[in-house]
Amino acid sequence: MSDAQPAPLSFRNLLLAVLSGVLLTLAFPPGPFSFVAWFALVPLLKGIQTASPSDAFKLGLVSGLAHYMTLIYWIIVVLEHYGKLHFLVALFSLLLLSLYLSLYLGLFSILASGIVDSRLTPLLLAGYWVALEYVKTHLITGFPWCLLGYSQYEHLYLIQAADLLGVYGISFLIVLINGFVFSIITRPRPRIGAVLKWEVPVAFLLVAGAWMYGHYRISGIETDSPGGRPAKAVIIQANIDQSIKWDPAYQEKTLQTYFRLTHSALDFQPELIVWPETSVPFFFQEHTKLSPGVFSLAEESGAVLLFGSPAYRRDRGAVHYYNRAYMIAPESRQLLYYDKIHLVPFGEYVPFKKYLPFIHRLVEAAGDFASGEKSEALKAGDLSVGVLICFEAIFPELAGALARDGANILVNITNDAWFGRTSAPYQHLSMAVFRAIETHRPMIRAANTGFSAFITPTGVIQGKSDLFAEAVLKGSITLGDSPLTFYSRFGDIFAGILVILSAMHLLYGIWKRRRRKAGGAG
């Protein structure tokens, strides 16, 4: 703990906190400012340097609100424009979610305020940050949207370490550098020599080490003899207007759009055709007059057809609805499916609905959605497809489980039309890049209105479509059969260790403080 006397919660420190929040947002897409992530926390750390724990928490909360209100502002678009909620209700919902997420930055600030003058400040800051990111990913429903490491998704050499440590490893490195920068600019002049002698070289070596590992991984994957066979795939982006998507009068027209675009790609002789989430906007399982056309198209194409459609199951008088992905394998006439496991809170179901009656579901299909029972790859011949539906692409453990189940390709089907022309589609795509790197599996991303793309196992985005435009993307992918990565095999062992070490350090600090007080009282 710093020996300096706590300073009052000044306007200057509040501005520093807000500045950090804004810089954190700027680091994420669509802007080209990812580099600011490497010093975005420095103003906040400066503001809490002499703050009391309570003031540090308030500054962290302010910084978090500045960050999340500008990062996920698109929630207003989702709730007001598509969810038909009043603007004030949408704004309040954004504020409520931002306030919850800001609590983590508030906790980080409390913890940081006690270690800003420690010789191990950078390491401790990075450890605490990752521990809190991990908790945020798993607590309650989990909302790991735009964890700090995702800001570097375009820097492919740097982020290859995600196949060892996940996105948490990149977050750790970024916060570590923030800590080094803070130490350099705030240490007293007599101690600056030690900083330049030890901390600057360590920072350089860590970043250089990550970059060199990335160069090694990318070079190895690109130059080694290909492990899997190539397969042709087609992505259909039909750009169906969300306002008419579920209107029964437009169901046939919607399907005809998919048929037309798919037929235009058959000369490519694809082995796999992917349509987006809920691209078939009716209950496909009921075998209505529109269902046979989908089967016929799969048979005509000779390709495996994967698409999204709502589904339901009756159980003892109750009806459970699912967000489902179907896969038709024409040669074996198999119809396989996967039900979405990780649902979107306040979109596909309402957590704590009893206590939040003002929030209504956004999904226009009937009923609240139920979670699927298991995550497993859908197999047709030597195609083993790991499906991630929409929001699931931001949960690394789901992709890892699919890789362990034998998936040699990941497919993310989504309907980002909810987001409108906001920054959310850019952010959503950036997180999908990490799932390919973590598993060393190619990813096909099919979005109703964009962005659709092919993503290589090293995170290269290929053939990206435009937003709100019809698109037919053709690509050749190499089915991944490389050994499981360290991350796919062992998951978040790195983050878990940091959670344990951070908890131990926190408990030690509390014990030490109580012992000091007891000694003073004696």
CA torsion through residues 504, 507, 509, 511, sign: negative
- Residue 376 annotated in active site: no
3-class secondary structure, 475: strand
CA torsion through residues 257, 261, 266, 272, sign: negative
Q: Which amino acid is at 40?
A: A
DSSP string of 270-324?
-SEEE--TT-S-S-GGG--TTHHHHHHHHHHHTSEEEEEEEEEEEETTEEEEEEE
Q: Which amino acid is at 357?
A: P
Verify cis geometry, omega within 30 degrees of 0, for the bond prior to 30: yes
- Can you say how many angstroms the Cα of residue 145 is from the centroid of all Cα atoms in its chain? 5
Q: Strands 272-274 and 230-237, how do they pair?
A: parallel
In whole angstroms, what is the distance from residue 290 CA to residue 294 CA?
7
- Residue 390 annotated in active site: yes
- Which residues, including other chains, have CB under 8 Å from residue 84's CB and lie 6 or more apart? none
In whole angstroms, what is the distance from residue 278 CA to residue 448 CA?
9
In whole angstroms, what is the distance from residue 338 CA to residue 327 CA?
9
**Residue of 133, 245, 390, 438 marked catalytic:** 390
> What Å distances lie between residue 482 and 70, 195, 409, 441, 486, CA to CA?
40, 42, 11, 8, 12
- Residue 245 annotated in active site: no
**Residue of 46, 58, 136, 340 marked catalytic:** 340
DSSP type of residue 244 = T
Cα–Cα nearest to 67, from 181, 151, 170, 159: 151
| Alpha helices per DSSP H over 392-442 | 396-404, 424-439
In whole angstroms, what is the distance from residue 31 CA to residue 423 CA?
9
Please give the radius of gyration of the chain, using alpha carbons only, rounded to the nearest integer.
25
> What Å distances lie between residue 21 and 26, 124, 477, CA to CA?
9, 21, 39
CB 437 within 8 A of CB 463: no
3-class secondary structure, 388: strand
Residue length, the chain? 522
CA-based angle 37:39:41, to the nearest 5? 90
CB 313 within 8 A of CB 291: no
Task: Compute the CA torsion angle 263, 265, 269, 270 (nearest 10 deg).
Answer: -100
**Residue of 133, 199, 277, 392 marked catalytic:** 277
So which residues are the catalytic ones? 277, 340, 390
